[in-house]
Amino acid sequence: MKMKRRNATKKEPMLLGWRFLTVCGVILFAFVALFARAAWIQVVSPDRLRMEGDLRSLRTAVSSTTRGMIMDRNGEELAVSVPVQAVWADPKQIHEEMSLRKEQAWQALAEVLGVPRETLLARVQDPKRRFVYLQRQVTPAVAEYIRKLRLPGVHLRPEERRFYPTGEINAHLVGMTNIDGAGIEGIERAFNEWLTAQPGERRVRKDRTGRVVEDLGVVSEGREANHIQLTIDQRIQALAYRSLKRASEFHRATSASLVMLDVKTGEVLAMVNTPSFNPNNRGQYQSFRARNRAVTDTYEPGSTLKPLIVVSALENGIIRADSIIDTNPGWVRLGGKRVSDTRNLGAISVETVLQRSSNMGMVRMALQETPEQLLDTLYRFGLGIDSGMGLVGESTGMVPQRRRWSDIEKATLSFGYGVTVTPLQLAQAYAVLANGGVRYPLTIVKRSQAPAGEQVIPRQHADDVLKMMESVIGPGGTARQAAIPGYRVAGKTGTSRKAIAGGYGSDYVGVFAGMAPVSNPRLAMVVVINEPQGDEYYGGQVAAPVFAEVMSGALQLLNIRPDAATEEQFQLAGQEAKRGPHT
């Protein structure tokens, strides 16, 4: 009975038409609105959102580049790039993730970077900044330590650092780069564009995790860096630097330079200076120490200019190779100034003029020539002009140009005053003498083939003067300390007082320039010792021993045979020794 009542009281659900229609209308309107919005975005105005999407996903990927190597003539590396890391921070991320609360980690970071903790914290104080360097060019070991600290907002990025395996030996020649890898000194600067690679750029699309999901093509093509092979022989370079540094320290010289050339090709085999610096330690860098004095500093060559003046006198018919020069009475007064030798040498040969470095002999020759004849000879030897090697800061020296020349001006020019040259220019002039009067263009970069030389002075005159200069090394000469056992050496000493305001001071420059072996000259070298202190300051005392040591080593390293006559003398001496004493 109860069951029937419940069934009787149960009512059928009522469908309200207006409510149903309202719900359907709302749903339909929402679909229409969504469809209209999608149509608007996809068809009518897609550019803005497409741009917004690209800003969040499109990136330009830059390919990594490595700076070109610098090598010596035998392929030994003089400058290479090594991978390092840069430590940088995102201050905004640091503040958002409360990274500064990890005080111990920040203290460890400061200690490993060698920077006060307060300094590091000051760099990341601005929460609006997104990038700041904490330190550049840290070693891989330091980078790994920082990575393990797991400091939010502190990141690493790869970069490269220039490393110079030979250190201070080649510092002036090779130079160095700044922290961004651009050359600022030496070969690094002179050939910076050649050594620098151009990174390539590609347009890519990345997802939110940084993975590349689409490669959209090349934006710009990259360019590989070029290597440079120098003409320097690192074995000779190291020998030259060691010997020059030892002599410079012994004589307490302000500076010193050495240049060695291959007379057959014009290639620079060695170029060193003291004092030097370590290019791997930027804390030692000082601009005055980085100057390549062999090409930037000029000196009055003193008596080393005399062989060139003798060539001029021979060429212009003033003297012959076998002429006798009357130097009596050993002095002469020109324009109120006295020119003299250390003693009266009387009537002497041209060879003796060079052997004994007679100022009077040179004056007798020079006064018979015109200034134009003297200067023309100097220019043909390469003085007063650029070498064309393109080294940073190279000086052309100074060959005087006057409308009127007094006798004293011509006289002083004949023994190396009033004209300035670089060690490189003087070495080139002596290479011309050694090569029979042929001048080759100088180069510091290895050539595929030797260029054609130019005959700038007659061969006979060059050979005559070369033989005369050999007597300078022998008994009675001014450079007996330049002799090398087994080889015939020719050269000339020079000692000039340094010019100061109003005249000349008490400081000297000691120079020796020479070539070997005389029978078939291969190498020419100049050694300059600037402002030696103490009792020894003559070129034959301070520069000639360096020449002998370096030239001897270079001749052996290059397997250059001793002169034939000397070799025969050694063989005869050995045979005599085997026979025993004469009866």
Catalytic residues: 303
Whole-number Å distance between alpha carbons of 277 and 283 = 10
Distances (CA, A) of 198 to 71, 189, 192: 21, 17, 12
Place of tokens 């000879």: 377
Q: What angle do CA 454, 455, 457 make, to 5 degrees?
A: 140
* C-beta separation of 260 from 293 below 8 A: no
Q: Compute φ and ψ for 348, nearest 5 degrees.
A: -135, 160
* C-beta separation of 302 from 494 below 8 A: yes
Place of tokens 């340094």: 498
Whole-number Å distance between alpha carbons of 313 and 219 = 67
SS3 of 326, please? strand
Listed residue (173, 212, 185, 224) closest to 67, CA to CA? 224
Listed residue (463, 411, 467, 403) closest to 433, CA to CA? 463
Q: State which H helix or E strand residue 309 sits in.
A: helix 306-315
Whole-number Å distance between alpha carbons of 415 and 487 = 28
Helical axes 306-315 vs 371-380, angle rounded to 10°: 120
Which residues lie closer than 8 Å to 213 by C-beta, 6 or more apart? 205, 206, 207
SS3 of 303, please? helix
Maximum separation of any 2 CA atoms in the chain, in Å: 168
The length of the chain is: 583
At position 258, the amino acid (one-letter code) is: L
* C-beta separation of 527 from 258 below 8 A: yes
Instruction: Assess whether the previous peptide bond of 158 is cis (omega < 30° from 0).
Output: no
At position 369, the amino acid (one-letter code) is: E
Cα-Cα-Cα-Cα torsion 559, 560, 565, 571, nearest 10 degrees, comes to 0
Whole-number Å distance between alpha carbons of 56 and 12 = 58
Roughly how many angstroms between the first and final C-alpha of the chain, as a whole number? Answer: 168
Listed residue (497, 345, 351, 325) closest to 412, CA to CA? 497
